[in-house]
Amino acid sequence: MKVWITGVAGFVGRHLSAELAARGHEPVGLCLPGERPPPAVAVVEGSVTDPAALEAGLRRFEPDAVVHLAGIASVPRSWQRPVEAFDVNLTGTIRLLEAVRILRPRTRVLLVSSSHIYGAVGDGPLDEDAPHRPTTPYAIAKAAADQATLAFAARFGMDALVARPGNHVGPGQSADFVLASLALQLAAIAKGVGRPPVRAGNLESRRDFMDVRDTVRGYRLLLERGRAGRAYHLAAGRQYRISELWDSLCDMAGLRPDLEVLADAWRPADQSPVLRCDRIYEDTGWRPEIPIEVTLRDIYRDASARVDDGVGEGRAI
């Protein structure tokens, strides 16, 4: 299967490319000008907001499937640039759906949505029919794109489906995200190129963190076995207080520096939604497999390598 990945140069796109290639599929991509795609992955340069770029990719690659990853992934950035968040995450999705409908109507489309569409709800576990309560520009745009994809599948008979993952983390993630930021700052201190305190937001929030490699394996199985017109949850099934994972990273680094909680990075403690994943279990056989300890180890190793390469100390989120 030839799979066109929008956002192929990003954190998840790189892991998905590797997963697809390892399973005999051919990943190709769309990336912004100046981005560096994964090795040996052919790309078209452009944005999902540009109809010409979407048409060029569909005509050049004639993909069997599209995985739509491209978007504004940071909640704080969506508050800083809400118009951009809606333009990319919602309008970009509709432009892609329209391009596929017109040019490649039999191509499978997997939209990657987010568990953020449910809001910070304490009730659960939630199934895929739970009401959406998005509370940020990121989540509102994602919820609308999610529903647009299912509407296109119903109205036009498109082979389109939706993945709604929880928080996914792993090696290669941007320091805009909490575990990568903490690991990078710790690694810089451990190597003598950074100094305490470590800058952070509120570490008392709870998150269901899933390894990105489990996540992209789920995406690959949805391409192979998922059912059109359906939404699917992907989650590890265990909530962690971020402070617990901070303690584990400190143990790996062999140090425990002071923390500085920054006002502009602080948000009230909350909890990510608890998701039921019965649907993807039943339709694809997917299960999360990678323990959080392995994920944290690989995040810290990646952070150490980035410090050696002069990436920097990370930033508070």
Q: Is 126 helix (H, G, I), strand (E, B) or coil?
A: strand
CB 210 within 8 A of CB 169: yes
Per residue in 99-120, pLDDT (tens digit) is 999 999 999 999 999 999 999 7
Dist. CA 154–CA 152, nearest whole Å: 5
Residues 164-223 pLDDT 10s: 999 999 999 999 899 999 999 999 999 999 999 999 988 998 999 999 999 999 999 999
Q: Give the pLDDT of residue 269.
A: 53
Q: What is the pTM of this model?
A: 0.94
pLDDT tens digits, one per residue of 247-270? 999 999 999 999 998 766 556 557
Q: What is the pLDDT of residue 310?
A: 85
7-24 pLDDT per residue, tens? 999 999 999 999 999 999
Kindly provide the b/e burial profile for residues 267-285, where b requires at least 16 CB atoms within 10 angstroms of the residue's own CB. Answer: eeeeebbbbbbebbeebbe
**Whether residue 239 has pLDDT greater than 50:** yes
> pLDDT at residue 312 above 60?
no
Does residue 317 surpass a pLDDT of 60? no
Half-sphere exposure of 311 (CA within 13 A, CB side): 23
User: What does the mean pLDDT of the chain come to?
Assistant: 94
> Measured between alpha carbons, how far is residue 280 from residues 12, 241, 255 in Å?
19, 26, 40
Of 291, 39, 36, nearest to 170 by C-alpha is 291
Q: Look at residue 265 in the predicted model and tell me its pLDDT.
A: 58
Domain architecture of the chain: domains with CATH: 2-168+209-234 (3.40.50.720), 173-207+238-272+290-308 (3.90.25.10)
| Amino acid letter for position 56 | A
Percent of the chain with pLDDT over 90: 89
22: number of Cβ within 10 Å: 10
Beta bridge partner(s), residue 163: 112, 232
Confidence at residue 266, expressed as pLDDT on a 0 to 100 scale: 52
What are 212's strand-pairing partners?
none
Distance CA 291, CA 59 (A): 41
Q: Decide: 45 and 32 in contact? Cβ < 8 Å.
A: yes
Backbone torsions φ then ψ of 48, nearest 5 degrees: -70, -10
Q: What pLDDT does 316 receive?
A: 41
